[in-house]
């Protein structure tokens, strides 16, 4: 896979659940990071994200990184194509 997808989320977030379901339905592999874990939350804070779900999509070839806040499947599809 050309991209690494990392999702910061919480079980109490409905859009996080929608994103996780959408990624699984579309067979998009991703690293699932639950910010309710204090270590993960500390990592998440370093990005100064304005909310969750927070998605990092990293191009493994050139290292370019896209960041998305919220559930925006059309943006994810565009980046991953």
Which value, to the nearest 10 degrees, does the dihedral of the CA atoms of residues 46, 8, 55, 30 take?
Answer: 130
pTM (predicted TM-score): 0.94
Task: Say if CB 53 and CB 8 are below 8 A apart.
Answer: yes
Task: Say if CB 20 and CB 7 are below 8 A apart.
Answer: yes
% the chain with pLDDT above 90: 98
Task: Say if CB 44 and CB 35 are below 8 A apart.
Answer: yes
β 3-9/54-59 pair status: antiparallel
DSSP 53: S
Taking the CA atoms of 14, 38, 32 and 59 in sequence, report the sign of the dihedral they define: positive
In the chain, the domains with their CATH numbers are 3-80 (3.40.30.10)
- Mean pLDDT on 44-52: 95
Q: Residue 31's pLDDT is what?
A: 98
Q: Residue 79's pLDDT is what?
A: 96
Q: Residue 64's pLDDT is what?
A: 95
Give the confidence band of 68 by pLDDT, cuts at 50, 70, 90. very high
pLDDT digits (tens, 9 = 90+) for 7-35: 999 999 999 999 999 999 999 999 999 99
């Amino acid at each position: 896979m050309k991209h690494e997808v990392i999702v910061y989320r919480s079980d109490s977030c409905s859009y996080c659940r929608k994103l996780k379901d959408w990624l699984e339905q579309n067979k998009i592999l991703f690293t699932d990071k639950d910010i309710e874990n204090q270590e993960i939350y500390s990592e998440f804070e370093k990005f100064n994200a304005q909310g969750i779900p927070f998605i990092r999509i990293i191009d493994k070839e050139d290292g370019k990184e896209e960041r998305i806040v919220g559930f925006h499947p059309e943006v994810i599809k565009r980046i991953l194509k």
